[in-house]
């Protein structure tokens, strides 16, 4: 079975599970992901914990929820039939309502009349049902309706998963995905399903240069909590983040770059697509809408990119029941799996030179600089090489790749690599 088929099969298995910011659905999801990669570790964060300007919410679990026409006994909405029918984080209620009272608690989409919308009320106590507009139009305005919701909304914890695959270097690539949406295929399940198989592939590789960290978190509050808990470690070691989401369909390839579009990840991704002659729909930082908001917030500023198919907010089916198993396909999952594998392999070939000498080093005592201060013609090889060595070192801050330094110094990549070897030989760079 191909990896694309395995990813799709996992998505089908995870599809019925009700996920949210918290709850048993998230734990079940993490348990099933752990079966694919046993390296996954589950963590719990207690409700009420303060994380920067936020708080970990109460834990929410659903026992039963339905909306019933009391005249016809017809069930209008049933959580057991489709978990999108219930507004996320609805509190318990058992009420008889007139149509005029009920309609205030119903959510639907007029311009997508056969779709059930996805709605939540995470931080405000409320309740509601989601139905299609077609179903809404069938409701009898003269009838009474029973709204029955039985949920647990109390102090508990928020669950998340982490996989750490150590490489030769402590410098790491963080791959983040979210597990907080109920039955939606592209916007939710494509991310964690592809991510777990990507982690399995990396874990099986020997002698990785970089360390790889995979996160399976609730969107927004999960990344905020993680940054709050591990900021110093992340700031010290993380050189790039891939926010993995919306990788399920084969309609388009989308790219959301970093805030300033000037990191090695930005260049790597663009060069990759150009060389592969893959047409992309390139977005701007202002088009962000997932955890890159947290990772690249002003005082955090961890470089984050996303390579997607149909990007969140960009397709009509987004956050509705139409983002289903028919919306995604094996072709799209396979394509995006290969793209992310290829990029990891390219990252593994990168070097980030960093000088180990504070201020400008003395090249003369290493026979790398002319010892006499006489006027030397430009043709003098030692003088030129000395200048090239110093130029290389001036960009060796651990943030630039060899490709970057080659570009900045106007030298060929092959020549830049030779300079790199000379500096390593003379112990002027960290290995």
- Cα dihedral 114→115→121→122 (10° resolution): 160
pLDDT grade for 366, boundaries at 50, 70 and 90: confident
Per-residue pLDDT at 361 exceeds 90 = no
pLDDT (mean) for 342-357: 94
Task: Specify whether domain 3-57+157-348 bears CATH 3.40.630.10.
Answer: yes
Cα dihedral across residues 15, 125, 135, 113: positive or negative? negative
Asked if residue 346 lies in contact with residue 272, where contact means CB atoms within 8 angstroms, the answer is yes
Calculate the alpha carbon distances from 1 to 120, 130, 197, 330, 398 in Å. Answer: 37, 37, 13, 11, 41
Q: Which two tokens stand for residue 106?
A: 């119903």
pLDDT (mean) for 365-392: 71
Residues of the chain with CATH 3.50.30.90: 59-154
Per-residue pLDDT at 373 exceeds 70 = no
Residue 399 pLDDT: 87
Mean pLDDT is lowest, of 300-309, 338-347, 388-397, for: 388-397
Per-residue pLDDT at 364 exceeds 70 = yes
pLDDT grade for 362, boundaries at 50, 70 and 90: confident
pLDDT grade for 371, boundaries at 50, 70 and 90: low
SS3 of residue 395 by DSSP:
coil
pLDDT in tens, 151-161: 999 999 999 99
What residues contact residue 51 under an 8 Å CB cut-off, 6+ apart?
221, 224, 225, 228, 229
Asked if residue 145 lies in contact with residue 67, where contact means CB atoms within 8 angstroms, the answer is yes
Per-residue pLDDT at 375 exceeds 80 = no
Calculate the alpha carbon distances from 93 to 75, 86, 254 in Å. Answer: 16, 12, 42
Mean pLDDT is lowest, of 90-104, 319-333, 359-373, for: 359-373
pLDDT in tens, 291-332: 999 999 999 999 999 999 999 999 999 999 999 999 999 999
pLDDT grade for 22, boundaries at 50, 70 and 90: very high
Q: Which two tokens stand for residue 70?
A: 């009391």
pLDDT grade for 267, boundaries at 50, 70 and 90: very high
pLDDT in tens, 23-38: 999 999 999 999 999 9
Q: Which two tokens stand for residue 362?
A: 């003395």
Residue 367 pLDDT: 76
Residue 212 backbone phi and psi in degrees, to 5: -125, 130
Mean pLDDT is lowest, of 135-144, 169-178, 394-403, for: 394-403
Mean pLDDT is lowest, of 56-65, 107-116, 402-411, for: 402-411
Calculate the alpha carbon distances from 49 to 46, 56, 148 in Å. Answer: 6, 5, 31
Residue 258 pLDDT: 98
- Strand order of the β-sheet with 93-98 is 75-78, 59-69, 144-154, 93-98
Q: Which two tokens stand for residue 355?
A: 């000088």
Longest dimension (CA), the chain: 103
First-to-last alpha carbon distance for the chain, in angstroms, is 41
Residues of the chain with CATH 3.40.630.10: 3-57+157-348
pLDDT (mean) for 148-152: 98
pLDDT grade for 107, boundaries at 50, 70 and 90: very high
- Cα dihedral 293→298→303→306 (10° resolution): 20
SS3 of residue 225 by DSSP:
helix
Q: How many CB atoms lie within 10 A of CB 354?
A: 15
SS3 of residue 182 by DSSP:
coil
Asked if residue 127 lies in contact with residue 90, where contact means CB atoms within 8 angstroms, the answer is yes
- Residue linked to tokens 């909405």: 77
Per-residue pLDDT at 201 exceeds 90 = yes
Q: Which helix (H) or strand (E) holds 36?
A: helix 24-36
Separation of alpha carbons 340 and 195, rounded Å:
9
Q: Which helix (H) or strand (E) holds 242?
A: strand 238-243
Q: Which of 6, 148, 162 is nearest to 77 (CA)?
A: 148
Third-level CATH fold of 59-154: Glucose Oxidase; domain 1 (3.50.30)
């Amino acid at each position: 079975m191909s990896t694309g088929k395995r990813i799709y099969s996992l998505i089908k298995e995870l599809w019925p599970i009700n996920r949210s910011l918290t709850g048993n659905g998230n734990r079940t999801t993490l348990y099933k992901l752990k079966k694919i990669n046993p390296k996954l570790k589950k963590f719990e964060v207690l409700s009420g914990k303060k994380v920067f300007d936020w708080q970990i919410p109460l834990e929410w679990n659903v026992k039963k929820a339905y909306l019933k026409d009391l005249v016809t006994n017809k069930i209008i909405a049933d959580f057991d039939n489709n978990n999108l029918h219930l507004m996320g984080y609805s509190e318990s209620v058992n009420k008889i309502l007139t149509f005029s009272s009920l309609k205030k608690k119903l959510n639907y989409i007029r311009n997508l009349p056969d779709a059930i919308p996805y709605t939540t009320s995470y931080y405000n106590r409320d309740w509601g049902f989601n139905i299609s507009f077609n179903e809404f139009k069938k409701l009898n305005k003269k009838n009474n309706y029973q709204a029955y919701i039985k949920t647990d909304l109390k102090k508990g914890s928020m669950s998340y998963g982490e996989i750490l695959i150590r490489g030769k270097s402590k410098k790491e690539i963080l791959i983040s995905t979210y597990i907080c949406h109920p039955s939606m295929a592209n916007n939710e399940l494509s991310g964690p399903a592809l991510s777990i198989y990507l982690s399995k592939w990396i874990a099986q590789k020997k002698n990785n240069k970089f360390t790889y960290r995979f996160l399976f978190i609730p969107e927004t509050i999960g990344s905020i909590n993680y940054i709050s808990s591990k900021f110093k470690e992340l700031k010290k070691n993380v050189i790039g983040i891939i926010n993995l989401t919306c990788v399920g369909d084969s309609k388009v390839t989308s790219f959301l770059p970093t805030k300033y579009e000037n990191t090695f990840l930005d260049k790597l991704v663009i060069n990759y697509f150009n060389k592969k002659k893959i047409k992309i729909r390139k977005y701007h930082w202002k088009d962000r809408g997932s955890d890159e908001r947290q990772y690249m917030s002003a005082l955090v500023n961890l470089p984050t990119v996303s390579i997607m198919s149909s990007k969140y907010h960009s397709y009509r089916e987004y956050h509705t029941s139409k983002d289903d198993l028919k919306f995604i396909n094996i072709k799209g999952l396979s394509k995006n799996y290969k793209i992310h594998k290829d990029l990891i392999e390219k990252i593994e070939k990168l070097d980030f030179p960093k000088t180990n000498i504070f201020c400008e080093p003395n090249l003369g005592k290493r026979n790398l600089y002319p010892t006499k201060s006489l006027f030397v013609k430009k043709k003098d090889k030692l003088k030129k090489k000395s200048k090239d060595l110093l130029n290389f070192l001036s960009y060796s801050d651990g943030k630039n790749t060899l490709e970057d330094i080659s570009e900045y110094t106007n030298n060929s990549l092959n020549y830049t690599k030779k300079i790199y070897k000379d500096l390593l030989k003379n112990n002027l760079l960290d290995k």
